[in-house]
Chain A
Amino acid sequence: MTLLSPQRERGLMARMFVGPTVGMTIRRSLFFFMLFLAVVAPWLDDFAHVLPFPIYDPLRPDPFNPVSPPTAEHWFGTDTLGLDVFTRVLMATRVDFTLALIGVALGGGLGCLAGAWAAYRRGWVDMVALRIVEVLQSFPVLLLGLAMFAAFGSLEIFGPVDHGMAVLVLSISMVNFPLYLRQVRSVLLPLTEAEFVQAAKCAGLGAWGIVWHHFIPNARGQILALFPLTCAYAIQIIAGLSFIGLGIEPPNPEWGSMIKAGATLIVQGHWWVSVFPGAFIVLSVYSLTGFSARSETLVGPGGTSA
């Protein structure tokens, strides 16, 4: 069997946007719309006069208007402090997307390198890598996050970076590292004997050179397919940890902590504080999974269950 090193593909952007079905394309458009919101969120305030929706300062309370149901002035209502839920949900998009992206990129990137390295070296390196994967994956995701927060609880080692956010990102990467390692390794394992790898070896390319120039590009398809799914998963984990009060401190907008803030209100019938942030989680996860036709392979046995 002759395996060739892949050529650079064209039209990647177009294929990213247009899915195999109409439904997929709609979901992807939805995602790009949310991404757009996340990017422009901090400047929305400057354009408040031209926007079709009312926008407020996400951190300035309005003591005269607490727990207001959705109205024309406050589309999603206000919470106990009188903060505008609509503005905060939009701002939170930015927070959640950014943290998910950084966490997945960090853990996934390292996982890819380690997976490719394990596939190239085989033998005991591969063995150790697989054991690490097994150990990391035997912790339930949220408990792993909990343990991370227990560990870094009082350590101020991240300097100017927000402490909770840093630990969140670390937890996300701890979860993603084994996912990517396993996937990349299993794709690349048969390549060790491939002719182009042998040729590269003969040409004098070093181990890291082969891993970087020949192995990683060959796993690109898998990595790209995994990426949106893991980001979606990461958003759920971030929201879940924030829901139990870990990560993003309350006055800052974040979907999970907003749901927590509304949890006590919901049994009194004030549903809007919790429902809208949750709906945005559902929308973002749903739109992100639209990038992958096969979503079942990703998330461990328990589903996300975050």
Chain B
Amino acid sequence: MVLAVVLLAVVIIGFTITRSTGTPLYASLGVAVSEAIIEQRAEEMGLNEPIVVQFWTYLTHLLQGDLGVSRISRIPVAEDIALKLPATAEMVFFTLMVSFIWAIPLGVRAGLRPDGKLARLGEGMAQFGVSVPAFWLGLLFIFLLYFLPPRLPEPLGPLPSLFPPPLGRVGSGITPPEMVTGLYTVDALIAGDFRLAWHTLWHLILPAVTLSLTSGPPLFRVTRSAVSEAVSSPFVEAAYSYGLGRRTVLIRDVLRNASPPVLNLAAMTFGYLIGGGVLVEVVFSWPGIGSYAVWGMDNSDYDVVLGVVIIAAVIYVILYFIVDLIQFAMDPRLRD
């Protein structure tokens, strides 16, 4: 119920925000067309109806999965988003993987030994990640890892750079794998093409590391505080007094009790990054929904922007809801 209200409000706000503009038709038709043509197109697209009627039409279409048609490319927005969402999801998924590799172990370590070297390293990385704008970090990576490494002069052929050029999901001239899930790495594995899977993974690394460094700090900090809280709690002392070993206690009591807030945050991060990685997508020419929204913005194609905004917000809200449900199911204390 609450979920439905929030979703409806999200759509209303998104709609009023993007529809309150003047005459977007000039954007798609150019300025040099007669009033009559504009009028005809406006009629066609239902722009002359009262705003409430327009909203009702949009909402009923939305519930049928119809997000309108792009004014520029004339392709339904929902189709485009369905095509681009897997790219974004793949990038966000690998971002989380990278975060799990650095943020969680460092967080656990920092929770166990707050004054240790690794704790300070983690805090340093967190400080850096919070301060640095992701799009700038991405550019810096491109410069340092793609441009700077020396390449042989032309007659000998350019030495392949260690990292791929920042141009989307696969290198130019390489056919993406047959679409099954839309995740290139998975699709390539399904097709049994390991070289291609490796290739797509390689293209993912820079965007994923960039996003992970800037979105991982909260994960590090939450892990740290959850672990340090668990370590100093009575049940851990009790476990030690039973005579259980360090490793057993760490896994059985500390990590298990510290994991809910961390998993919760990881899920929220996933939902957030679906729409929050816009700039990194732009920097790495990643053909996801973020770049799509920016493209729509550049062309004053507001149905595209609205569609992406709504989809991203809806994914976030639904994930939030699911996380709540899972916590409810996992933690008996919440049930009364």
The answer to whether A and B belong to the same complex is yes
Chain A residues whose C-beta falls within 8 Å of the C-beta of B133 in the assembled complex: 236, 239-240, 243, 256, 259, 278, 281-282, 304, 306
A-B contact pairs, 13 of them (CB 8 A): A134-B6, A138-B10, A142-B276, A142-B279, A143-B312, A266-B147, A268-B147, A278-B140, A282-B131, A286-B131, A296-B217, A302-B272, A305-B280
For the complex of A and B, list the 5 residue pairs with the smallest distance between their C-beta atoms, beginning with the closest. A140-B275, A302-B272, A278-B136, A301-B268, A286-B131
A151 engages B312 (CB within 8 Å): no
Q: CB within 8 A of A289: which of B5, B130, B272?
A: B130
B139 engages A263 (CB within 8 Å): yes
Cα–Cα distance between A55 and B270 once the two chains are bound (Å): 45
B211 within 8 A of A: yes
Chain B residues whose C-beta falls within 8 Å of the C-beta of A159 in the assembled complex: none
- Which of B16-24, B51-59, B64-72, B74-82 sits within the interface? B16-24
Shortest Cβ distance from residue B296 to the other chain A in the assembled complex, whole angstroms: 8
**Interface size, chain B (Cβ < 8 Å):** 73
A151 engages B272 (CB within 8 Å): no
Chain A residues whose C-beta falls within 8 Å of the C-beta of B132 in the assembled complex: 278, 281-282, 285
Chain B CB within 10 A, most for which of A239, A266, A271, A303: A303
**Told that A154-B23, A155-B22 touch, could you supply 5 new A-B pairs with CB distance under 8 A?**
A138-B10, A143-B312, A259-B133, A295-B130, A302-B218
Cα–Cα distance between A303 and B95 once the two chains are bound (Å): 13
Q: CB within 8 A of B265: which of A152, A263, A301?
A: A301
Chain B CB within 10 A, most for which of A152, A239, A305: A305
Q: CB within 8 A of B147: which of A141, A239, A269?
A: A269
B259 within 8 A of A: no
| Contact mask for chain B residues 275-306; partner A; CB cutoff 8 A; 1 contact, 0 none | 11111101100000000011001101010011
Chain B residues whose C-beta falls within 8 Å of the C-beta of A275 in the assembled complex: 140, 143
- Given contacts A140-B276, A147-B305, whether A154 and B6 have CB atoms under 8 Å apart is no
A267 engages B142 (CB within 8 Å): yes
Minimal Cβ-Cβ distance residue in A for B320: A138
Shortest Cβ distance from residue A226 to the other chain B in the assembled complex, whole angstroms: 15
A contact face: mostly helix, strand, loop, or mixed: helix
Cα–Cα distance between A268 and B147 once the two chains are bound (Å): 7
A139 engages B214 (CB within 8 Å): no
B274 within 8 A of A: yes
B317 within 8 A of A: yes
Shortest Cβ distance from residue B24 to the other chain A in the assembled complex, whole angstroms: 8
Chain B residues whose C-beta falls within 8 Å of the C-beta of A268 in the assembled complex: 147
Cα–Cα distance between A300 and B265 once the two chains are bound (Å): 10
A153 within 8 A of B: yes
Minimal Cβ-Cβ distance residue in B for A153: B21
Shortest Cβ distance from residue A61 to the other chain B in the assembled complex, whole angstroms: 23
Shortest Cβ distance from residue B68 to the other chain A in the assembled complex, whole angstroms: 13
| Contact mask for chain B residues 301-317; partner A; CB cutoff 8 A; 1 contact, 0 none | 01001101100110011
- Given contacts A140-B272, A154-B21, whether A149 and B139 have CB atoms under 8 Å apart is no
Cα–Cα distance between A306 and B211 once the two chains are bound (Å): 9
Minimal Cβ-Cβ distance residue in B for A229: B130
A299 within 8 A of B: yes
B277 engages A305 (CB within 8 Å): yes
B14 within 8 A of A: yes
The interface of chain A, by Cβ under 8 A from chain B, is 131, 134-135, 138-144, 146-155, 232, 236, 239-240, 243-246, 256, 259, 262-263, 266-269, 271, 274-275, 278, 281-282, 285-286, 289, 295-296, 299-306
Chain B residues whose C-beta falls within 8 Å of the C-beta of A155 in the assembled complex: 20-22
State the total of A-B contacts with C-beta under 8 angstroms: 198
Q: CB within 8 A of A240: which of B130, B135, B265, B275?
A: B135
Chain B residues whose C-beta falls within 8 Å of the C-beta of A271 in the assembled complex: 143
Minimal Cβ-Cβ distance residue in A for B220: A296
Shortest Cβ distance from residue A140 to the other chain B in the assembled complex, whole angstroms: 3
Shortest Cβ distance from residue B280 to the other chain A in the assembled complex, whole angstroms: 8
Chain A residues whose C-beta falls within 8 Å of the C-beta of B22 in the assembled complex: 153-155
A-contacting residues, B124-163, CB 8 Å: 127-136, 139-140, 142-143, 146-148
B21 engages A140 (CB within 8 Å): no
Minimal Cβ-Cβ distance residue in B for A141: B276
Shortest Cβ distance from residue B9 to the other chain A in the assembled complex, whole angstroms: 4
B109 within 8 A of A: no
- Given contacts A141-B276, A146-B293, A150-B18, whether A267 and B309 have CB atoms under 8 Å apart is no
Q: CB within 8 A of A151: which of B17, B269, B273?
A: B17
A-contacting residues, B313-328, CB 8 Å: 313, 316-317, 320
Q: CB within 8 A of A146: which of B217, B280, B283, B297?
A: B297
Shortest Cβ distance from residue A234 to the other chain B in the assembled complex, whole angstroms: 12
Cα–Cα distance between A151 and B22 once the two chains are bound (Å): 9
B6 engages A303 (CB within 8 Å): no
B216 within 8 A of A: yes
A302 engages B13 (CB within 8 Å): no
Chain A residues whose C-beta falls within 8 Å of the C-beta of B135 in the assembled complex: 240, 243, 259, 306
Minimal Cβ-Cβ distance residue in A for B224: A296
Cα–Cα distance between A243 and B136 once the two chains are bound (Å): 9
Cα–Cα distance between A155 and B22 once the two chains are bound (Å): 7
B221 within 8 A of A: yes
B222 within 8 A of A: yes
Shortest Cβ distance from residue A286 to the other chain B in the assembled complex, whole angstroms: 4
Cα–Cα distance between A271 and B143 once the two chains are bound (Å): 7
B215 within 8 A of A: yes
B313 engages A138 (CB within 8 Å): yes
Chain A residues whose C-beta falls within 8 Å of the C-beta of B221 in the assembled complex: 296
Minimal Cβ-Cβ distance residue in A for B278: A142
Chain B residues whose C-beta falls within 8 Å of the C-beta of A269 in the assembled complex: 143, 147-148
